[in-house]
Amino acid sequence: MLLGILKESDDRRVAISPESVKKFKDKFEVKVETGAGANAQFSDKDYTAAGAEATDRKTVLSTADLVFSIDPINQEEAQSLKPGAILICQFAPFNDDKLTVFLAEKGITAFSLDMVPRTTLAQSMDVLSSMASIAGYRAVLKATDFLPRYMPMLTTAAGTIPPAKVLILGAGVAGLQAIATARRLGAVVEAFDTRAASKEEVESLGAKFVEVEGATDDKAAGGYAVEQSDDYKKKQAALIADKAEKADIVITTALLRGRPAPTLVPKTTLDRMKAGSVVIDMASVTGGNCEVTKDKETVVYNGVSVVGHSNLSEEVAQHASILYGKNIENYLKLLWNEQGELDFENEIVAKSCITHNKENYYAKNA
């Protein structure tokens, strides 16, 4: 069976690193698109030394039995896949299912790694968690690029500099890593989350948990925030505004799967923040948690830098690619049953499949 690795068109990462190719070479023949790992500092020589063949994109698409990328290929390229080929990437069908419908019509089997259930059994193949952890780390470092102040407390001959105050909105995987990173840099950290279960994790990392009573805590939301009542939103907005006013850095991570991100930092809150403060909005791809956020842009509002970036993991491209590849390694261990057939009896495989045999599995499971 031939495994194909594609170069990303707008991402520094690569789906499978040379380290993972070494694990695959006994089970698969591997072809990688020339230059696929260049932006993650993996050369074609690294891949060939690991056992892969570097070739052009057209050859990978037309000959591979398993085609891997991070972002989906376009419809034209999908039509060039060999009959019976399996396409595996992150389709985000909950944001846009047009490609899913097309793949089903064309009879292409596709699995979406971002649809892997976020359960204990699936942790080793959860690309969203792997990338969110890196993004949370990078969000804090990104904020320091804009902050005109120190992070740690410093005592000097000229006087004492107080530590920066960081507010994290959303204490999922990304938020927790942001807390840990900000604490390591010496900041005083507060964190807010609608999920009461987050309190213990936040406090274990040395941050103060900001709690608003009356939250709807949906344990079945797969790690995502859930919609809250109007009364709760009012109390939440008032408390966040008070905390943001004193903060030097605000990092927002709240996503609602399949819906626009909730607005947690409106203009009225930005108006109260100190000049020179920074907002890193990690939910910018679905509208953002800040009212003025623009995806992949930095907006300066009333002296506050608002950075919209939903793919911070690509800025740590090498390690992100290695972890992504390890997630794929673990995923492929489950993909087929003992008879060599796709194992749809396995919940992880079934829920991550979006098209097969001209059926739209995503539409059936949504």
Write out the catalytic residue numbers: 118, 123, 126, 129, 224
The residue count of the chain comes to 366
Distances from the Cα of 194 to the Cαs of 122, 175, 191, in angstroms? 24, 13, 10
| CB-side neighbour CA atoms (13 Å) of 223 | 22
CA atoms of 57 and 53, how far apart (whole Å): 12
CA atoms of 84 and 272, how far apart (whole Å): 58
Q: What is the DSSP letter of 147?
A: -
Residue 263, SS3 per DSSP: coil
Torsion region of 200: left, alpha or beta (phi above 0 gives left; psi -120 to 50 gives alpha)? alpha
CA atoms of 222 and 179, how far apart (whole Å): 21
